Amino acid sequence: DIFLTDGVYMLILNEVYRYFPQEQVHIVYAENFIKDPVDELNQLEDFLGVPKVITRSMFIYNNTKQLFTKFVRLDGSIHVMKYTKGRPHPQLEDIFYDKLHEFYKPFNEKLFAMIGKTFDWNYRGKNYTSD
C-alpha cells in the first residue's frame, strides 16, 4: 500500500499547501524536465523572479540514452548523472498498467484540478523509460 500511496501526489500537495500558499508553489512536470530541462528551469527562474542563467549550452545530450546526462555547472565543472539514469525498466503485463491507471485516475483528476493543468500520466506502453 505504501508504494501506491507514494504516487498519490494530491495528498502530498495538500500537505505542502498547509504550510505554503498555492502561489508560492511551482510544479515541475518530470517528463518535460527530462525532455527539455532548460525550458522547465527557465520557467522556474521566472517563477522565482531570478535572472535567467540556465542556457541550452549547459546541457549535454546522450544520444544512446536519449536524454541529457551531463550538465555544466555555473563554475564550469561538469556534473555527470548516475549511470542508471535512462535505463529501461521492467515491463508489466498490460493488466497491471490498466489497474494502476484505474487506481490513480481519481487522485490524478483531483490533482489536476488543484494545480490547474494536466499531465499525460496514462498508459505507459512497452518502451517507457525514466529515472
Q: Which residues are annotated as a binding site?
A: 85-89
59, β-bridge pairs: 71
What DSSP state is assigned to residue 57?
G
Reduced to 3 states (helix: H, G, I; strand: E, B; else coil), residue 78 is strand
Rg, C-alpha atoms of the chain: 17
Pairing mode, strands 78-80 and 59-62: unpaired
Binding-site residues from annotation for 3'-phosphoadenylyl sulfate: 85-89
Q: Which distant-in-sequence residues (6+ apart) come within 8 Å of 29 by Cβ?
A: 40, 119
